Chain A
Amino acid sequence: MNDNAIVELIDIKKSFGSQQVLRGVNLRIMEGKTTVIVGGSGQGKSLIIKHILGLVTPDSGRALVYGKELNKISKKELKDIRTNFGVLFQNSALFDSMTVYDNVALPLRERTRITEEETERIVNEKLKMMDVEGTNKKYPAQLSGGMKKRVGLARALVLDPKIVFFDEPTTGLDAAKSNEIYRVFSRTQKKLGYTSVIVSHDVPKIFKLADYVALLHNGIVRDCLTPDEFQLSDDPVIKDYVETTMGPVYSSEMEV
């Protein structure tokens, strides 16, 4: 394994009943970089993230995080690896019977031994960073979609994780809200320097954030390239995807 690759998926296959979703996924996530996974709906992009998180066991293949194979380690070791993770789920997965404050404070209360004053300081700082200060006492059901995402992001980042996973961070948001999320994302990554894995449909906007772009098609990752290489790739499937999502103008050599 390359020294810089902190996550490596090797020939991951996964079926549900008779439907084979992943047919041999190979992917490497580089430390400190942003890798974006793109592809059509229902291709299994979120499933790839779930394999890396250890929430799903592959039928065959290996999922390595920090060089450890997730389905061969103990529950304790898996838990230790997960202490490095921050996850923003597709639907935010906020605890709906808790207030925003308690949601963001939960990892601090359960995983650290800091005082309640310190917890309050960190939670308020993170909520401010996400521009959702003042929502402390609200419940997730009282928030808009964009606010939920930002609270989810605050919760994901509250323990300063080393790897952050974003599952469709802007799906269902309008252009202005998406831009806001991207701004928050780019600001926090600069500040905290985490490795990130993003599943997104928001092409080409998401390319501005990406160091690497991986296309999942028919259960395999066609390639994992830099955004420039991706847009100019000769692979017919990638080429087709780029033209469908971005139009010919983006794939032309005139693009700056």
Chain B
Amino acid sequence: MLNYFEKLGADTLYHLNQTGRMGIFLFYSLLSIIRPPYKIFPIIKQTYVIGALSIFVIIFTGAFSGMVLGLQGYHTLSKFGAEGLLGSAVALSLIRELGPVLAALMVTGRAGSAICAEIGIMRISEQVDALECMAIDPHKYIIAPKFIAGIISLPLLTAIFDVTGIMGGYLVGVGMLGGNAGTYFSSMYKDVEFSDIYMGLVKSLCFGVLIIWICASKGYYVHLNRGGGFGAEGVSSATTNAVVLSSVSILLFDYFLTSVLL
């Protein structure tokens, strides 16, 4: 019985510690973004890695999400004779929910895992310590460009996801199932408002910060993981944790953000 309480206490302390560390990590990272010097090249490089290299997977998943929405939407709406609303149904689902969430999940899988592994390897091979000893702030040098790149990339990737999704929905709903092209777009123009786009934008920005925060901090503190965060195994388990925690947090935050923004 005593052992159980001991374990519970140790677990609680460990998780509190970890949460505190992640909070401090976010604070220093955001602080280092606003602190000079400002170097543009690392930001461009990271935007390329996180954003540009994710475009293909975003277009691919965006198109198929839109196509399945077109397919499901058309069949459901046709039961009520409301096929004309397909355009607005696809667009609203994508712009308000699916675009930001699925784009963020894709970026987590593609870039988030890479960020965690990269920083984790730098940590275990003492490269982060080396930076500190050279009086170079690792937050400024490694983390800040990734945060800025995440904040720039996510809204743009979400926009690409939304557009390809809408075109995917058009391809199925109009091209394959014979819906009316004019109605598809006119219902969209009529029903999509700026507040919907604003909601998608806010979500994608928040997810951008969330992904980089979780993935980078999991890599940065890999050496402090319980059960020995050492070597390749330590980095691989930190990467898995980062991707799982990031994905779960995206869905969780999505709900809270929606309830605040609605």
Binding site for B on A (CB under 8 A): 50, 53-55, 79-80, 82-83, 85, 87, 89-91, 93-97, 106-107, 110-111, 159, 165
Given the known inter-chain contacts A91-B125, A93-B127, A96-B125, please indicate yes or no for A111 contacting B133, CB distance below 8 A: no
For A95, list chain B residues within 8 Å (CB): 122, 127, 130
Q: Which of B125, B127, B129, B136 contacts A111 (CB 8 A)?
A: B136
Interface size bucket, B side?
10 to 19
B141 within 8 A of A: yes
A82 CA to B136 CA, complexed, in Å? 9
CB pairs A–B below 8 angstroms (29 shown): A50-B129, A53-B129, A55-B129, A55-B132, A79-B135, A79-B137, A80-B135, A82-B135, A85-B133, A85-B134, A85-B135, A87-B133, A87-B134, A89-B126, A89-B130, A91-B125, A93-B125, A93-B126, A93-B127, A94-B127, A95-B127, A95-B130, A97-B118, A106-B136, A107-B134, A110-B136, A111-B134, A111-B135, A165-B133
A91 CA to B127 CA, complexed, in Å? 10
For A82, list chain B residues within 8 Å (CB): 132-135
A54 CA to B121 CA, complexed, in Å? 21
CB distance from A174 to the nearest CB of B (A): 23
For B137, list chain A residues within 8 Å (CB): 79
Give 18 new A-B contacts, CB below 8 A, not counting A50-B129, A82-B134.
A53-B129, A54-B132, A55-B129, A79-B137, A80-B135, A82-B132, A83-B135, A85-B133, A87-B130, A89-B126, A93-B129, A94-B127, A95-B127, A96-B121, A96-B125, A96-B127, A111-B134, A165-B133
Q: Which of A83, A89, A96 contacts B129 (CB 8 A)?
A: A89
A53:B133 contact, CB within 8 angstroms: yes
Question: What 1/0 flags go to B133-147 for Cβ under 8 Å of A?
Answer: 111110001000000
Residue of A nearest to B136 (CB): A110
A19 CA to B135 CA, complexed, in Å? 31
For A54, list chain B residues within 8 Å (CB): 132
Question: What 1/0 flags go to B104-133 for Cβ under 8 Å of A?
Answer: 000000000000001001100111011011
* Interface SS, B side: helix
For A111, list chain B residues within 8 Å (CB): 134-136
Q: Which of A83, A94, A110 contacts B141 (CB 8 A)?
A: A110
A82 CA to B129 CA, complexed, in Å? 12
A95 CA to B136 CA, complexed, in Å? 13
Please report the number of residue pairs spanning A and B whose Cβ atoms sit closer than 8 angstroms: 53
CB distance from B229 to the nearest CB of A (A): 13
A96 CA to B126 CA, complexed, in Å? 11
Residue of A nearest to B137 (CB): A79
Residue of B nearest to A89 (CB): B126
CB distance from B220 to the nearest CB of A (A): 14
Residue of B nearest to A85 (CB): B133
CB distance from B221 to the nearest CB of A (A): 14
Q: Which of A55, A80, A97 contacts B133 (CB 8 A)?
A: A55
Residue of A nearest to B122 (CB): A95
A50 CA to B141 CA, complexed, in Å? 21
CB distance from B1 to the nearest CB of A (A): 23
A83 CA to B121 CA, complexed, in Å? 25
A106:B134 contact, CB within 8 angstroms: yes
Q: Which of A93, A97, A110, A159 contacts B130 (CB 8 A)?
A: A93
A54 CA to B132 CA, complexed, in Å? 9
A53 CA to B133 CA, complexed, in Å? 7
A79 CA to B139 CA, complexed, in Å? 13
For B125, list chain A residues within 8 Å (CB): 91, 93, 96
A141 CA to B11 CA, complexed, in Å? 39
Residue of A nearest to B134 (CB): A107
CB distance from B127 to the nearest CB of A (A): 5
CB distance from A95 to the nearest CB of B (A): 6
For A97, list chain B residues within 8 Å (CB): 118
Q: Nearest 7 A-B pairs (CB), nearest first?
A: A93-B126, A93-B130, A82-B135, A87-B133, A83-B135, A110-B136, A79-B135
A55 CA to B126 CA, complexed, in Å? 11
CB distance from A226 to the nearest CB of B (A): 28
Residue from B132, B135, B136, B141 with most neighbouring chain A CB atoms (10 Å): B135
A85 CA to B130 CA, complexed, in Å? 11
For B126, list chain A residues within 8 Å (CB): 89-91, 93
For B122, list chain A residues within 8 Å (CB): 95
